[in-house]
Amino acid sequence: MNDAAPVTLESIVFYAPEREVSARDLAELEVLPIARREHARALGIDTVRVAAELDHEVDLAHAAAAQLLQESGIDASELDALVMVQGRAPHYLLASEATRLQHRLGAHRAFTTTVGDLGCVSVSAALTMAAALLRGEPRFRFVLVVAAAKSPTRARYRPPMTLLGDGAAAVLLTTSGRGRYELVDQIVRSDGRYADLFRIDYRTAHEQEWVEECADEPTYSFKLAVDSRSRFTRLNSELLERNGIGSVDTVLMQNLSVGAFAFWEEALDLEIDPVCRRALAAYGHLGSVDILLDLEYAAATQDPGALCLVLNSSPVAAWSSALLRRVPDLDTQDR
C-alpha cells in the first residue's frame, strides 16, 4: 500500500441507538447456569444499546451513513463507491441490502457492493477494497464504507466470549490527504478450518428460536487462541518490517471482553489502548463496527503523525493487522 497514493480515513461516524440497557438487566442472563451467568457479568460490559426502533441492520447503516454525509458536507450523489459490510442476518434472502442503502442515501452514481463472510474482519476487507478502488480508479474521490451490527437472535450473550450490542459506523475514504487517519498498510488473512466454528442453524428453526452456537468451545478457547497468537505475531512483524516501522504509539483491537484484552496484551507483549475498554463497557461487542468506534475514540488523544496498530480477528477464522497514521483533523485544514 505504501508505494501508491495515500488513502485517508477522512471522517468516521459512530451511530448508537438511543435505548441503553444495563448488561445486568438482560433477562436472558437470569436463565443461564450460574457459571455462565457469572461469566457474562464479568466481561467488562456495563451497558449495550438496543435498536428496538430500527428493524434491520440496513436501518442502522443508513443512520450512520446519513449522519456522516451531513457532517462532512458531502452530497450522496458525490460518492464514487459505497461498500457495505454484510451484517449478521440479512432482511431477506436474494434481496440486496447494499442497493437498498444506496437508494435510501441517494448515492445513485456510486459503484455499490458488499463485503462480508469474514465476521468482524469483514470491515478490514472492506477497507482494503475501498483503498484499492481509490488507487485503481483515478477519477474516484470518495468511497463510503458502512458497517452495522444488530443481534441476530433474542439472546445477546454469545458464549463463551461476549455480549452483543447494536450500532453502526460509517467511514469516508479519500486520497485527499485530509481527515482522521492515513491507511498506511493492511494485511488480511483467513483459515477455512474454522469456517463454521460459530453458527446459527437458521434453516431448521423459526427466527424467534435462532441460537448462536459454538460448535467446539475447547477449539475456540485453546486451539484457535494459540493459532491466533502465532498469526498476529507474524502479521505484525511483516506489517511493521515492510513499512520500516520499529514501534507504534497506539494499539487498538476489537472489543470482546476485559479477559480477551488481558490475554492479548500478555500473548503479544503489547498494551491495548484504554479507549477499547471504555468502548466495550459502554456498547458491548459490535462486530465489524468495533475497530471503527475505537479509531474514532482514540483520535482525540493522538497527535498528528502518531502511528496506530489495529488488530482485528474473527472466529470464522480471519485476522487482520492494519497500520494507520494520525493526520490533522479537518477543522485544521482547508477542505
Q: Report pLDDT digits (tens) over 219-246.
A: 998 999 999 999 999 999 999 999 999 9
Query: What's the pLDDT score for residue 69?
Result: 98
Query: What's the pLDDT score for residue 71?
Result: 96
Query: What's the pLDDT score for residue 334?
Result: 46
Query: What's the pLDDT score for residue 2?
Result: 43
How far is residue 289's CA from residue 15's CA, in Å, rounded to a whole number? 10
Query: What's the pLDDT score for residue 91?
Result: 83
Reading the block at residue 252, the C-alpha cell is 487498538
**Domains of the chain, start order:** 8-178 (3.40.47.10), 183-332 (3.40.47.10)
| Cβ–Cβ under 8 Å, residues 201 and 323 | no
CA-based nearest residue to 42, from 239, 205, 280, 248: 280
Reading the block at residue 184, the C-alpha cell is 498506511
Reading the block at residue 266, the C-alpha cell is 500478555
- pLDDT tens figures, 12-44: 999 999 999 999 888 888 888 899 899 999 999
Q: What is the largest CA-CA distance in the chain?
A: 58
Q: Please, what is the Cα angle at 274 between 272 and 275, to 5 degrees? A: 110
Query: What's the pLDDT score for residue 148?
Result: 97
Query: What's the pLDDT score for residue 284?
Result: 98
CA distances from 164 to 45, 183, 257, 269, 286 (A): 10, 28, 11, 27, 6
- Taking only the tens of pLDDT, the chain with its 335 residues reads 445 679 999 999 999 999 999 998 888 888 888 998 999 999 999 999 999 877 789 999 999 999 999 999 999 999 999 999 998 788 888 999 999 999 999 999 999 999 999 999 999 999 999 999 999 999 999 999 999 999 988 889 998 899 999 999 999 999 988 889 999 999 999 999 999 999 888 888 888 888 888 899 999 989 999 999 999 999 999 999 999 999 999 999 999 999 999 999 999 999 999 999 999 999 999 999 999 999 999 999 999 999 999 999 999 889 999 999 999 875 544 44
Q: Is 294 exposed, middle or buried (0-12, 13-18, 19+ CB in 10 A)?
A: buried
CA-based nearest residue to 276, from 173, 162, 148: 162
How far is residue 117's CA from residue 2's CA, in Å, rounded to a whole number? 27
- Determine how many CB atoms are found less than 10 A away from the CB of residue 167: 27
How far is residue 105's CA from residue 74's CA, in Å, rounded to a whole number? 11
- In this structure, are strands 213-214 and 47-50 parallel, antiparallel, or unpaired? unpaired
Query: What's the pLDDT score for residue 333?
Result: 47
Q: In sequence order, what DSSP letters do the residues of 296-327 get, joined into one string?
A: HHHHTTPPTT-EEEEEEEETTTEEEEEEEEE-
Query: What's the pLDDT score for residue 316?
Result: 86
How far is residue 231's CA from residue 184's CA, in Å, rounded to a whole number? 20
Prediction pTM value:
0.94
How far is residue 283's CA from residue 274's CA, in Å, rounded to a whole number? 14
How far is residue 148's CA from residue 155's CA, in Å, rounded to a whole number? 18
How far is residue 239's CA from residue 260's CA, in Å, rounded to a whole number? 23
